[in-house]
Structure 1
């Protein structure tokens, strides 16, 4: 039984996550990122599905090259049969030589078109995966300044310190949402490997999954620190 990711269920999960973020942090920048995430997810689903479909323009070009080769071969045979009977060995050689040349040219033409389709799909896949990579870094930027050690006390904020208004519970939920978005980003990237078996695309997807996993691991280290902060409380205000 072949196991595959269901793109529609991934989109549904992304939509629910965006709603959760909006309900919990309606004024936070992460809420806008979550909304953008839903758009990126839908685009990724469409792009990945499109890669699995045949490019009929290039397929028609392949058929045209094949038809042209058959026409040329038929023309050569007709000309030789009209001028002399094919029972003579010399005439057979005259047919085989141009026929071999035509076959080689047709094979090269078809191979070129097939490789062109592969390069076209690879280019589109890498462009879409680049958008996912950018999104992953944007998510990471939103959790970058969420430092749980501030809630432990003993750290006096300065005038340049980022404003931290979340208590332990809120910060934990915020980091959870970032972790979920990073995980779903990896799942969206994996959709491309289900549609195209290209070494470069597979390597790029593996790199994105590794990136999202490493960033998620950093977030969970922060969440583990929150378990030692005690009751929920607000951090100190910045020193003016």
Structure 2
């Protein structure tokens, strides 16, 4: 079973190494470019991912001990309240107390039960909520990186290679050769894929519906942005192929 688990689970070390090599490739192919800076930013996020994932998977014993202590204190209060209620009911049965007094005691006990239950629920879920917030914060950073990647490929128009129309004053620079443009778009697609992989690492061993929802939204975003890039690559491939060689 351990071998199967190793095969079917993402290794955060291998994900980091892949991003490291990808950042080298981008820097070597497009030195000093904005895309190279984005790759370095993703590498930095990957380095922080190891720390965040370790923090998520590690039990917070201090928080658990404090929560258990407070819950035990609430339990003592509840036992005392139940004892007082039992005495009041006993006095009522002995006809030494008014029924209204018993109702007031029961109502007070009910309010205490509701407050204690809410407090216990808050304490029990505090650790999970803290980890969930950490995941969502990290995913939001990855979502920002994905949008930056998309912004860098936005002006890379393969159709401009075949149809070089009149340039205007504010036309974007199109100084990439077809082969370089294809490589640039490939790198953008690979970076988006690694953004999604980093996001999944946060919830691989953390089963939380809200955190999983945030990661799923990140994957949908990266897939949609990558689909736009591959459409450009298909257009570029049509312009690179010799028309006589097309089927």
TM-score of the superposition, structure 1-length normalised?
0.79
- In the TM superposition, what is the alpha-carbon distance from 1:230 to its structure 2 partner? 2.9
Instruction: Output aligned runs, 1:90-105, within 5 Å.
Output: none
1:143 corresponds, among 145, 150, 153, to 153
Partner of 1:41: 46
Distance 2:194 2:61 in 1: 32
**Unmatched tracts of structure 2, length 5 or more:** 82-89, 91-105, 243-247
Distance 1:58 1:64 in 2: 10
Deviation, 1:111, is 2.7
Match of 2:214 among 199, 204, 224: 204
Return structure 1 stretches of 4+ with deviation > 3 angstroms: 66-76, 100-110
Count of residues paired in the alignment: 217
Q: Name the counterpart of 1:18.
A: 23
Kindly provide the CA deviation profile for residues 181-221 of structure 1, in whole angstroms up to 9, marking residues without a partner as x.
00000011111221322211111111110000011011011
Please list, as runs of the form range in 1=range in 2, the aligned pairs for 1:92-131 lying within 5 A after superposition: 109-131=119-141
Cα RMSD (Å): 3.0
Question: Are 2:36 and 1:31 equivalent residues in the alignment?
Answer: yes
Relative distance call for 1:228 and 1:70 in structure 2 (3 A) is closer
Normalised by the length of structure 2, the TM-score is: 0.76
Structure 2 match to 1:171: 181
Segments of structure 1 that go 5 or more residues without pairing to the other structure are: 77-89, 91-96, 233-240
Please state how far the C-alpha of 1:104 moved relative to its aligned partner. 8.7
Shift in Å at residue 153 of structure 1?
A: 2.7
